[in-house]
Amino acid sequence: MPQNEITGRCYCGATRLSASGPASVAYCHCTDCRRWTGAPVTAWVGVADATVALMPAPAPISVTEGVTRWACPACGSPLAARFSYLPGQTWLAMGTLDQAASLTPTLHCYAGEALPWLHIADDLPREQASGHEVL
Ligand SMILES: [Zn+2]
Ligand SMILES: [Zn+2]
């Protein structure tokens, strides 16, 4: 688990974020994350809620019960999410982070929902569901 100061920003720069490690890093192949980000797979960096600042704080978006997401109100970049089955953790969208190159995923979540043409050649564990037991 990397001990990191984590910083990032949205596409347009109107919303910035900061957090600090230790961080858990995982891919999510679920259809909700896919639709929200528009990407075939999402990578997330999980940190303690109390370390996270979104500046200025966007309004929360909640569509699926137990899941809250935050995006930049100006450009729509997905920034962060919380999942009720992962209490105390906020998950930051990897693509917005300045330290993305050094935050290496250790797990695939919802591997059963992965797109059939997507082949990530690693030996990481593949959880068929959320992986909340190990995150
Ligand atoms: Zn923005
Ligand atoms: Zn997901």
The ligand placed nearest to the CA atom of residue 9 is 1
The ligand placed nearest to the CA atom of residue 16 is 1
Q: Which residues, in sequence order, are bridge partners of residue 80?
A: 70, 92
Percent of the chain with pLDDT over 70: 98
Please tell me the distance between residue 30's alpha carbon and the centre of ligand 2 in angstroms.
4
pLDDT at 21: 86
Single-letter code of the amino acid located at 90: T
The ligand placed nearest to the CA atom of residue 30 is 2
Q: Provide the pLDDT confidence category of residue 24 given band limits of 50, 70 and 90.
A: very high
Query: Which structural domain range is residue 28 located in?
Result: 5-113
In a domain, 63, yes or no: yes
Give me 91's structure tokens: 């998950």
pLDDT tens, position by position, 76-119 = 999 999 999 999 999 999 999 999 999 999 999 999 999 999 99
In a domain, 60, yes or no: yes
The answer to whether the CB of 18 falls within 8 A of the CB of 79 is no
Give me 59's structure tokens: 């309004």
**What is the reported pTM?**
0.94
Q: Provide the pLDDT confidence category of residue 3 given band limits of 50, 70 and 90.
A: low
In a domain, 130, yes or no: no
Say if residue 2's pLDDT is above 60: no
pLDDT at 133: 87
In a domain, 120, yes or no: no
In a domain, 134, yes or no: no
In a domain, 123, yes or no: no
In a domain, 47, yes or no: yes
Average pLDDT, the chain: 95
Q: Taking residues 117-128, what's their average pLDDT? A: 96
In a domain, 132, yes or no: no
Please tell me the distance between residue 62's alpha carbon and the centre of ligand 1 in angstroms.
19
Query: Which whole-number Å values give the CA distances from 103 to 45, 48, 58, 84, 117, in the listed order?
Result: 8, 16, 24, 23, 25
Q: Provide the pLDDT confidence category of residue 4 given band limits of 50, 70 and 90.
A: confident
